[in-house]
Structure 1
């Protein structure tokens, strides 16, 4: 869909945000769509803002959707155009009967991303593209940028899921077992591993709005063998070394907490990923990588308590402001 064919309508986030549906054909579950949400800077900032030539494309994490309005305003307040993509079978893009978040390869999202970029019209307008990804979205955008060198001017990753929680050796040990099950039982059920503590931590911090029913369940979407195999394959690619072809900023909490039992430290740590493993993996995604460890940050650093959230915003602004034009 070309930019001049796109129709924008109101979004559930209210004034200042619009959305459009991006048709992506169909699969064995029916029609498939992605949804692009945008926030535009005020007219004066479009002309004179420091980031007036930047287009941002944000991609959410697992069991998630875009709702972080304050994050969008960091960009629009400086003249950038902000866009967020609810991938197929997530959030605004869920259709009846679909297995939420289910794919058998992260490369499938190339179609979602290309449809979003066509609607944004970034290349024709000669604007700089900044990719901004959280958790699984960070892994997806890292791999996309590595397969499409020269497209992104910068990559910002918010606690990207670049390595399995078992670490490199654990991932290598379980990968063959996961692949076998993915081949013979791709949609089989996995035991629930999300006990809801991360959602509880966000609620206690006060950073989590009510989500439409089913968009962001407290204990996450059900997971399936073929999906997990796709994620592990992405981790293996990162471990082997990729090149996103642009400066990268990786924002992480200063420390992790085990997700198996509630602990009050979960309100100031990452209870989803092992951040030390993610920091090591992040050194393999680009020639120039800045890794910022944020004291007191949650898994989504921009949903942390105010001091950590402010530090993350400062690191982001400093990084973007220092990019070469």
Structure 2
């Protein structure tokens, strides 16, 4: 429209080297909705390395999507991909992080396919599609891994590889537990879709990540609450539907690497072992579910890793990055661009 201002890249809260772009997505029942794309501006060494074909992901574009009650705040992750020769982008989905507005219900959707619009807007802003010729690597953590896996299966051929960081592919109570509670959750969603549900987050995961509590990371606690967002029946119904789809088997159309902790520790009392374990998901069940994503799935179990493997202590993070590099070189031949 004549006279209207086009969205533009602006400085991001992560500081030097990062910019954000607001992506308007129209309106929903709560009003105007946006997603926010963050990009990492590569240094000259990374750019030259990419042009010369150096790095395990030279010439590729990477799109990262966060998990539940989360947003992108990990500059080390961006630098890893830039050093590997890729262009790195991260997406704060609607009603999360940079995209959350005060009148909105944080993280609330009733169908995970709603995020197709967020992803397509991000890919368009990245210059993906058409004759771009740049391979696309999708990277998702937890709920983001579920969202991207389902998206890739609905859009075969778009992604060249998926790297999943503790993807939420199955309910914590396993398939049997999911199938047992699903009818009650679906019924509740029909009667009162935004009704209150008990908060089972005891704050232990925040304790393992937050620098002020012994972790290694600083972030915005309004965007990443200490005990998570409130959960609503309609949202949980959408998650359970996604889990059921994965359990039935899909094909994401590309090689998959799934990063997981070597162990889970899910219990009602704090233990220092929680700083080196996944205290959110049952990793053995997620490993099994990952095999339902397609014919080419690699699984890397990282000793000492947290639920977000790339927020773990440095030795575990280093092992995870090494695993990604090894996999890209050996098992994801479509990733390297021209």
Q: TM-score interval w.r.t. the shorter chain?
A: over 0.9
Q: Tell me the distance in 1 between the aligned counterparts of 2:106 and 2:301.
A: 31
Q: How many angstroms does 1:113 deviate by?
A: 0.2
Q: Deviation at 1:205? A: 5.0
Equivalent residues, number: 320
| 1:149-160 to 2 correspondences below 5 Å | 149-160=156-167
Aligned-residue CA RMSD in angstroms?
Answer: 1.2
Pair 1:58-2:67 in alignment: no
Corresponding residue for residue 125 of structure 2: 119
Within-5 A mapping of 1:1-325: 7-42=8-43, 43-48=47-52, 49-50=54-55, 51-123=57-129, 124-203=131-210, 204-211=213-220, 213-322=221-330, 323-325=332-334
Task: Measure how far apart 1:198 and its partner are.
Answer: 0.5
Q: Deviations over 1:264-309 (max 9, x none)?
A: 1100000000111101100100110001111110000001011111
Q: Note the alpha carbon deviations across 1:133-169, whole angstroms, 9 max, x for none.
A: 0000000000000000000000000000000000010
Unaligned stretches of 5+ in structure 2? 1-5
Q: Secondary structure at the match of 2:121?
A: helix
TM-score (norm. length: structure 1): 0.96
The answer to whether the Cα contact below 8 Å between 2:207 and 2:215 also exists between their aligned partners in 1 is no
Structure 2 counterpart SS, 1:188: coil
What SS is found at the alignment partner of 1:260?
coil
Structure-1 separation of matches of 2:325 and 2:282:
25
- The alpha carbon displacement at 1:206 in A equals 2.8
Runs of at least 4 residues off by over 4 Å: none
1:53 shift after superposition: 1.4
Task: Give the alignment's TM-score, normalised by structure 2.
Answer: 0.92
CA deviation string 1:249-270 (max 9, x = no partner): 0000011011421111100000
Other structure's SS at 2:61 match: strand
Report the more deviating stretch, 42-51 or 151-160: 42-51
- Asked if the contact 1:205–1:305 (Cα under 8 Å) also holds between the matched residues in 2, the reply is no
The one-character-per-residue Cα deviations of 1:167-200 (angstroms, maximum 9, x if unpaired) are 0100000011100001111000011110100000
CA distance in structure 1 between the aligned counterparts of 2:166 and 2:216, rounded to whole angstroms: 17
Query: What is the deviation of 1:52?
Result: 2.8
Does the aligned pair in 1 maintain the 2:73–2:219 contact within 8 Å?
no
* CA distance, structure 2, for counterparts of residue 52 and residue 277 of structure 1: 33
